[in-house]
Amino acid sequence: MLFDYDLFVIGGGSGGVRAARVAASETGVRVGLAEEDRYGGTCVIRGCVPKKLMVYASDVAHFLPEAEGYGWTFAEAKFDWTVFHQKLTQELDRLEAVYRGLLERAGVHTFDARAKILEAHTVELSTGQCITAETILIAVGGTPTLPKIIGIEHAITSNEMFNFKLLPVSILIVGGGYIASEFAGIMNGLGVKTTQYYRGDQILRGFDNEARDLVAGDMVKRGIDLRCGLNLEKIEKTPKGLLVTDTKGKTQVFDAVMYATGRSANTKNLIDPSVGVSLGAKGEIVVDEYSQATVPSIYALGDVTDRVNLTPVAIHEAMAFIATVFRGEPTAVDHTLIPTAIFTQPEMGAIGLSEEKARLQGPIEVYVANFQAMRQFFAGSDDKSLLKLVVCANSRKVLGCHIVVPHAGEMIQLLGIAIKMGATKEDFDRTMAVHPTIAEELVTMREPTRKT
């Protein structure tokens, strides 16, 4: 059978664009791509990129007092959201144009339309056009989910956090994951009175307890009203703002309420049930180690598969897909030991097992440096830094690393290489320190803080 395309990609985010571009430019196959919204997807348009720019903007609020500790003086500092938002909008427009340009130069035929899979090799666009392809790749990502409570229509999600015309005076952020905690720091740094509710005992569930406790403590010191063990019952719109009732029966008024309590795969009305693609309990597409769905001609990658929902993972999966399908090199993606940065304030980086999870696997040694860094100490700040190595007592391999320091994301990226290669504690010990730096503590911790 002669198909319209060798590969048809549904979704113009980071993973879909990478797969389409590389397939067209490096393997010479005929590629089409459909995107119903903006090119660049969640990460570029309403996620990682704009969020990190907001982190940079909000960080200035912490840098100014530190600068004064070094002898600098300033006139009254004032943040203008209008100026920032205009520049942010321009930057996102520029990045979307970059993504479109990459596809065009690679020879990918793009369709600004929603796509639905009708058969194993057939896609129908919202324009009414039907397209056939030998292979279909789904890369439509995920979307925030909202609970079913009274007044939830008055709440917003992370998607809308970049669209304020004017910043609210006060905001309630519901959730304890990295998205909620990052936005709590951002809003607080931009001068918004910020409250965060989380139903669990401590935010950043799943990360190392010692690291998450330090992050939460510093968030509170910086002015965030963090309330754990608490959730929302209902939201009412009043002339004074949004009146929320919490699970303890107390009420409070906020200008805005943002929910960051989970995301789900964008598979609603995406695939006709007759096609036979298996979905998981949360609507995610079930795939094997090669990202192949239960229908052989259909593959999926990124957040829509709900494996590890990070942009670099989707891009890595895209490259493995190209190798598997178009280069004859079956390549499974290794989803272990993925370095992660959480752009809270303070920033956190992690790779591997937490102390709690490592302890369940056998005897471990834990090395901890918890101190005030030179820069913050001199400026009069009481911010603490944490660097932590979790080591297998038998093999001596470093099983996990957890850091809460300025620019933790930059540091954990490089540490990820060593730990992915199987570095031992002795490998760290043999490495010369760079002095004076925060990171030197990683190679100067000789005696374990505790053994279990």
Q: Where do the domains of the chain lie?
A: 5-142+264-326, 152-261, 340-451
Phi, psi for residue 195 in degrees, rounded to 5: -120, 140
- Helix H or strand E encompassing 50: helix 48-69
Tokens 């330090």 -> residue = 214
Tokens 């006060």 -> residue = 170
Closest alpha carbon to 414 in 312, 315, 341, 309? 341
The fold for domain 152-261 equals FAD/NAD(P)-binding domain (3.50.50)
**DSSP three-state, residue 344:** coil
Half-sphere exposure of 192 (CA within 13 A, CB side): 27
DSSP H stretches of helix in 209-366? 209-221, 311-326, 355-359
- What integer pLDDT is reported at residue 251 of this predicted model? 98
Strands lying side by side in the sheet with 241-246? 232-238, 241-246, 251-254
Is residue 175 within 8 Å of 231, Cβ to Cβ?
Answer: no
Q: Residues with Cβ < 8 Å from 52, sequence gap 6 or more?
A: 343
- What integer pLDDT is reported at residue 1 of this predicted model? 76
Check if 5-142+264-326 and 340-451 are the same fold: no
Vertex 213: Cα angle to 338 and 447 (nearest 5): 75
Annotate 63-127 with DSSP letters as a single string: HHHHHHHTT---S-----HHHHHHHHHHHHHHHHHHHHHHHHHHTPEEE-S-EEEEETTEEEETT
Tell me the residue type at 20: A
Q: Which tokens go with 141?
A: 């990502």
- What integer pLDDT is reported at residue 50 of this predicted model? 97
- What integer pLDDT is reported at residue 76 of this predicted model? 86
Phi, psi for residue 98 in degrees, rounded to 5: -60, -45
The fold for domain 5-142+264-326 equals FAD/NAD(P)-binding domain (3.50.50)
Question: Residues with catalytic annotation?
Answer: 435
Count CB neighbours of 246 within 10 A: 17
Q: Which tokens go with 200?
A: 């669990």
- What integer pLDDT is reported at residue 356 of this predicted model? 98
Is residue 272 within 8 Å of 117, Cβ to Cβ?
Answer: yes
Is residue 224 within 8 Å of 137, Cβ to Cβ?
Answer: no
Alpha-carbon distance 162 to 174, whole Å?
17
Closest alpha carbon to 27 in 134, 107, 132, 102? 107
- What integer pLDDT is reported at residue 127 of this predicted model? 97
- What integer pLDDT is reported at residue 75 of this predicted model? 86
Strands lying side by side in the sheet with 364-371? 340-342, 348-352, 398-404, 385-392, 364-371, 450-451
Q: Which CATH architecture has domain 340-451?
A: 2-Layer Sandwich (3.30)
Alpha-carbon distance 210 to 259, whole Å?
26
Is residue 295 within 8 Å of 123, Cβ to Cβ?
Answer: no
Closest alpha carbon to 7 in 108, 140, 155, 119? 108
- Ranges of residues in the chain with a pLDDT under 50 are none
**DSSP three-state, residue 47:** coil
Per-residue burial over 276-300, b = 16 or more CB atoms within 10 Å of its CB, e = otherwise: ebebeeebbbebeebbbbebebbbb
